[in-house]
Amino acid sequence: MHGLKQALLQIWRLTYPYYTTRETTEVRLWPLPAIRMQERWIALLMAATVIGIEFAQVAINVRLSYFNRDWFNAIQGKDAAAFWSLLFSVFCVWAAVYVASAIIQYVIQSFLRIRWRAWMTRHYVDRWLGGDAHYRMGFSGAQTDNPDQRIADDIDQFTQTTQSLAISFLSAASNLISFSVILWNISASFTVPGTDWHVPGFLVWGALIYSGLVTWITHRIGRPLIRLNFEQQRREADFRFSLARLREYGEQVALLGGAEAEKASLRGRFGALIANFYAIVDRRKKLAAFTTSYQQVNVVIPYILVAPYYFAGQIPLGVMTQTAGAFARVESTMSFFITFYVTLADYKAQVDRLTTFDASMERAVAMGAQSRLRVAPRDGGALHLSGLGLDLPDGRRIAEAQDLTLRPGETTLLTGPSGSGKSTLFRAIAGIWPFGEGEVATPAGARLMLLPQRPYLPMGSLRSAATYPDASGRHDDAAIREALEAARLPHLAGRLDEDAPWAQTLSLGEQQRLAIARALLAKPDWLFLDEATAALDEPTEAALYRMLRQRLPDTTLVSIGHRSTLGAFHERRLDMTPREDGRFVPTDVRAPVAAQ
């Protein structure tokens, strides 16, 4: 019972936000003009319509149950007039209404599903990317595997399955109530077959006991499917991600001769996927053997129970068929759990994955809110670090900067051994590093831009890659071409509209030069280069630094680098010097006069 309560609470937490959102949107219902209204009212109106149609269809089935009784009575009495009258005046009319309502219900249900999925997708993407949660989730220690699958697949399956199960459950409940009344009234005077025991509503109790027993057996057999389905989705996503990652780093794998290692890794991941799949097949085989047998027996069980009363002359043929049909309806609705067990097992896995994703994002957001490392704007133009201590995720402190000022217009080179916290210091200045304490005071109103060693290139055209993160329409083509030529990429200037996997098409040196072109277009007030030219030869690197000084005279450059030649392009040099306790501290050292 606790597990059921927990599952229902998880479903409620995932469902509630959409049906209570106050976001407004435009909706148009032909032939009426477009109107703006809150998304929740659209969702609730659609859901109410779908549910109303479902209840109406149950009422139609009840009416057809009485048609079935009268029709078979007419057949038994050889009443041709009643036979044809019932067929055309009752069955054809209500069957046509049922078909029309089913079509309308499907269309509204489909619109509701896609709107719900679109809203949840936007909601999750905003939360995932907001506040750098996507970055910090890697440090949260929660189950955050394959967020792409959770947003793309699990949300789609969750909205579809929730909608389907909710409608099926409501249909089952209304069928149970409606046909239980019919079955109770018919069997009110029945005795237990072969005895004189009079049990009011005998057939209703029989259906309840029968379906309850079968449900319990089904759950005992199929319960491991919940865990197995969760694991299968994770392993499928891991295998798909491994293939995508191999495609992204194909050149590096080829250069290292890593094909055999990758084959072994892929075989291992796929083997784990297959092993779990076989476990699912084995469990479903047992479940299918039981449920299929149960479904076959169900065809005759109602007639077996009602037959003694028919052969004893207590009921006519029409009542027998109506009773058998009502029993089948009641029993099938009571067996809702059995019919949808595999679906429910898959659904529980989807709910668990979205719930853990939710929890992981909440931890990531909390990590940022609880961080003692603060980044805040301050008047004065300089960038100041005070009482700064930088920690690793495991709590070990690697670097400190108690009182450090970076002055505007003064180019600065940050050097030091690997692992001394140089890149971590840049992350702290950018405001994405949550581990540590102290304050980073950034110049008020200044725009900071950080270029990492390996640039991110989004999918799409070269134009979007060159202007990222700005929208591609913000810069005209002439400015983009000029920036590419200045960054020594003239051969790309004529390919702005070309869509290609640029992360694989361009060498790392070309990618770094493309990032330099981005900086030329963005014109930031502060530009931080984290070994952003490490893949370039020294003459090209020198030429690009001179070009940046000439084209961005108002931009303050702060660089991380290991080459001694970089000192000539910076007016100040800070070296990450180790103290006796092993922590590194940025210390001023003499630097050559910067080249102009």
How confident is the prediction along the chain (596 residues), in pLDDT tens digits per residue? 566 678 788 889 999 999 999 988 887 777 778 888 899 999 999 999 999 998 999 889 888 888 888 888 888 888 889 889 988 988 999 999 999 999 999 999 999 999 999 999 999 998 888 877 888 887 765 556 678 778 888 899 899 989 988 888 888 778 777 777 777 777 766 666 666 676 677 777 777 777 777 778 877 887 788 788 878 878 888 888 888 778 767 766 776 677 888 888 888 888 888 999 888 888 888 888 887 787 777 777 777 777 777 787 777 777 778 777 777 777 666 666 666 766 777 788 788 888 888 888 888 888 877 888 998 998 888 999 999 999 998 889 999 999 999 999 999 999 999 889 999 999 999 888 989 999 999 999 899 999 999 898 888 889 988 998 887 678 889 999 999 999 999 999 989 888 888 887 888 899 999 999 999 999 999 999 999 999 999 999 999 999 999 999 999 999 998 888 888 899 999 999 999 888 999 999 865 544 44
CA-derived radius of gyration, the chain: 35
CB-CB contact of 21 with 122 (8 Å): no
Q: Can you tell me whether residue 409 is helix, strand or coil?
A: coil
Q: Residue 370 corresponds to which amino acid? A: Q
Who's near 56: CB < 8 A, 6+ residues apart? 101
Q: Which residue shows structure tokens 């992350």? A: 427
Say how many Å lie between the first and final Cα of the chain, rounded. 75
Provide φ and ψ at 27, rounded to 5°.
Answer: -135, 145
Provide the 10 A C-beta neighbour count for residue 306: 25
277/295 Cα distance (integer angstroms):
25
User: For residue 193, how many other CB atoms are within 10 A of its CB?
Assistant: 14
- List b or e across 201-224, with b for residues whose CB sees 16 or more CB atoms inside 10 angstroms: bbbbebbbebbeebbeebeebbeb
DSSP for residue 554: T
Burial 404-434 (b: 16+ CB within 10 A, else e): bebeeeebbbbbbeeebbbbbbbbbbbbebb
